[in-house]
Amino acid sequence: MLRVLGSRALQLILVVLGISTLLFFLVRVSGDPALAVAGSEATTEDIEIIRESLGLNRSIFEQYFAFLIKLATLNFGDSYIYLQPSMPLILEALPSTLYLSFVAFALAMLVAIPAGIFAAVKRRNASGRFILSMSMLGQSIPPFIIGIFMILVFSVWLQWLPSFGNEQPTSIIMPAIALSAVLMARHTRLVRAYFIEEMNRGYVRTGKSLGFNNRRIRFKHILRNISVPMLSLIGIDLGKFVGGAVIIEAVFAWPGIGSLMVNAVKARDYPMLEAGVFTVAVMVVLVNLIVDLLYQFVDPRLRAKVN
Amino acid sequence: MSQRMSAFSFFVGAKSDALPKGPGRKKWFRQAGPISLAFLGAAALLSFGANLWVPQDPTYQDLLYRLVPPFEIGEGVSYLLGTDQLGRDVFSRLVHGGKVSFAVGLATATLAMLIGGFLGLIAAYFRGWQEAVILRVVDIQTAFPFLIVAIAIVSIVGAGVNTIIFTLVIWLWTPFARLAHAKSLSVKESEFYRAAISSGRSGFGLVFQHIVPNITGAMMVVWTFVVAQTIIAESSMSYLGLGVPLSTPTWGSMLSEGRNYLETAWWIATFPAVAIMLTVLCVNVFGDWLSDRLDPQTKEI
């Protein structure tokens, strides 16, 4: 248990340090950040003042050291757009991103697991093939396209659902569906593939010869056995999932950290961007930690090893 | 020699009855892969040769003919798929826009495969600290949402096709490294590899004659899926306005312009959306078909 926690803590430090360092040097290599901040109408004196206030007149090592201190104290500086400390703004937007991600993830799993099992059991029938084809189609549509066309159908034509924001309780429906679609399609295929593989195992044959009914074999035995590899894939996919959330938030003007970050990128608001990237990194590592802990819950063999 | 997969056997040698002939598996279904590949090839050729045959300059604005619906023949001018809010021909922009998608998809996946494959081979060949470092980096990158980093990098370095390719490559080499590493390790367990070592082979010759040919099939399969992923990533970034500069038509930027006209002019956003979906779908179908033939064991990386 402590080892898992320790290795995840190390991973967190490496992720944050690696990505922040990459961004830090790219900002410096790609041109003078002071020019970007000042805009095209600034005079030479203005730019000098900005350079001074951003600490850009010091050596690159001093700058990097100051940057590391900022990182360690979680003080990323004031946002250029909002003229407030950037970290609290990100934290304020975090719950709404978590809400959207959680609903979309739950939706994806609630559909993918039964659909995958069905497609595996009926793999030789038209119905099983149909699900497989649909999941291939679902994987081929970028989430933002699903979002746009849901807006067209349900907001513009039918006027059933609001097309942006999160003021109404129904606002979550379209962003959640659009965000979950890719994960849903992918995991339907994966559940199906793993399920078919397990159906050929010896324990399934043994179960059948002992007279267990199909339901018991499928849901008690096979499902438990595929949950371990599925869990590790879910851990990997959650990273991509957060990336998808950024786009979906932009499409639906959902007030989460994704929208904040896209605006920050457009305005070259680096403090905001750094705070956002940092927060996402922490979230991803925490989710992976939860997945690690779930392993032991799902697989008694791992529990026995740890104790 | 039997272990080597030449480009010839790669395309021609694959047996057409490699799929299990279950009841109900129709003939056309077995041909879905080649059909998709043919479609993609034709689409890519038409896009890259767009200058030669497309009726209009994709950036030419004709404000007299704004928002013309598709399939309508005007006086002397015809717009197959209509025009957008600035009177530009949607069909011409669609064909030209394909260039960016195909170029970014192919270049990124190929570069990522070369870099990732090389690092994966190094990890598997030397084991030791090289393996520890490379696998660690792969683990960390895989867990992190690359689109966020990609967006950040593009905003810093500046938009452009090269920036996008560079950004996507430094993120998408990881599946190739992971796969090359895992496959190489299993090759190293095999009899023929031990035989090669005992007959005195070592270094580059060993790696390129005995390991590389045996991991090529699986790498090709992953390559196709990375092409699909890249096309989606590029269109997402263009949609957010963080991709290629707006003067170059891309499917993603056409979509983001069309989003504001969904109510009045559905065709501006619909046709690029269909183009993206169809392309990615064909790449995925082809990849699926390829994986049935070349690499039935590897389901997922």
Q: Which residue has the higher pLDDT, B12 or B177?
A: B177
User: Taking CB atoms and an 8 Å cutoff, what residues of chain B touch A127?
Assistant: none
Band of residue A115 on the pLDDT scale cut at 50, 70, 90? very high
Nearest one of A90, A49, A42, A8 to A293, comparing CA atoms? A8
Q: What is the pLDDT of residue A270?
A: 77
Q: What is the pLDDT of residue A204?
A: 85
Q: What is the pLDDT of residue B102?
A: 92
> What does the pLDDT look like over A158-182, one tens digit per residue?
878 877 777 777 788 889 999 999 8
The verdict on a CB contact (< 8 Å) between A288 and B143 is yes
Range of A41-45, A95-99, A226-230, B258-262 with top mean pLDDT = A95-99
Range of B105-109, B140-144, B155-159 with top mean pLDDT = B105-109
Q: What is the pLDDT of residue B255?
A: 87
User: Taking CB atoms and an 8 Å cutoff, what residues of chain A touch B246?
Assistant: none
B246: closest CA of chain A, how far (Å): 14
Q: Of the given ranges (A118-127, B11-20, B149-158), which has the lowest mean pLDDT?
A: B11-20
Give the homologous superfamily in CATH for domain A92-260: MetI-like (1.10.3720.10)
As a whole number, mean pLDDT of residues B143-170 equals: 80
- pTM, to two decimals: 0.82
Q: Which residue has the higher pLDDT, B74 or A165?
A: A165
As a whole number, mean pLDDT of residues A209-233 equals: 83
Average pLDDT score, chain B = 79
A186: closest CA of chain B, how far (Å): 11
Q: What is the pLDDT of residue B296?
A: 64
Nearest CA in chain A to B140: A15
As a whole number, mean pLDDT of residues A77-93 equals: 83
Residue A165: DSSP 8-state = -
Q: Write the Ramachandran bin of B241: left for phi over 0, alpha for psi from -120 to 50, otherwise beta.
A: left
List domains and CATH numbers for chain B: 25-293 (1.10.3720.10)
As a whole number, mean pLDDT of residues B121-148 equals: 83
- Does B284 contact chain A (CB < 8 Å)? yes
The verdict on a CB contact (< 8 Å) between A246 and B145 is yes
Q: Which of B23, B136, B273 sits opposite A124 (nearest CB)?
A: B23
Q: Which of B139, B156, B228 sits opposite A30 (nearest CB)?
A: B156
The verdict on a CB contact (< 8 Å) between A140 and B277 is yes
A285, pLDDT greater than 50: yes
As a whole number, mean pLDDT of residues A29-41 equals: 64
> What does the pLDDT look like over B175-188, one tens digit per residue?
899 899 988 988 88
Range of A30-44, B26-40, B286-300 with top mean pLDDT = B26-40
Beta-carbon pairs below 8 A across chains A and B: 135
User: Taking CB atoms and an 8 Å cutoff, what residues of chain A touch B286?
Assistant: none
Q: Which residue has the higher pLDDT, A247 or B71?
A: A247
Range of A34-48, B175-189, B248-262 with top mean pLDDT = B175-189
CA–CA separation, A60 and B62 (whole Å): 51
- As given in the structure block, the two tokens for residue B263 are 């109510």
Q: Which residue has the higher pLDDT, B207 or B76?
A: B207
The verdict on a CB contact (< 8 Å) between B280 and A129 is no
pLDDT above 90 covers a percentage of chain A that reads: 6
Q: What is the pLDDT of residue A1?
A: 66
Q: Which of A137, A194, A239 sits opposite B143 (nearest CB)?
A: A239
Q: Which residue has the higher pLDDT, B293 or A302?
A: B293
- Does B275 contact chain A (CB < 8 Å)? no
Residue B69: DSSP 8-state = P
Range of A213-217, B116-120, B163-167 with top mean pLDDT = B116-120
B10, pLDDT greater than 50: no
Nearest one of B176, B164, B110 to B137, comparing CA atoms? B176
CB B111 within 8 A of CB B169: yes
> What does the pLDDT look like over A124-152, one tens digit per residue?
888 888 898 888 888 888 888 888 888 88
Q: What are the residues whose beta carbons fall under 8 Å from the beta carbon of A112, sequence distance 6 or more?
A: A183, A184, A185, A186, A187, A188, A191
A32, pLDDT greater than 90: no
The verdict on a CB contact (< 8 Å) between B144 and A262 is no
- The residue with tokens 């960390």 is B140
ipTM of the complex: 0.79
Q: Which of B24, B140, B155 sits opposite A18 (nearest CB)?
A: B140
Residue B278: strand, helix, or coil: helix
User: Taking CB atoms and an 8 Å cutoff, what residues of chain B touch A276?
Assistant: 148
- Does B136 contact chain A (CB < 8 Å)? yes
As a whole number, mean pLDDT of residues A76-83 equals: 79
- The residue with tokens 């099939």 is B217
User: Taking CB atoms and an 8 Å cutoff, what residues of chain A touch B288?
Assistant: 136
Residue B65: DSSP 8-state = G
Q: What is the pLDDT of residue B9?
A: 34
CA–CA separation, A192 and A189 (whole Å): 5
Nearest CA in chain B to A22: B153
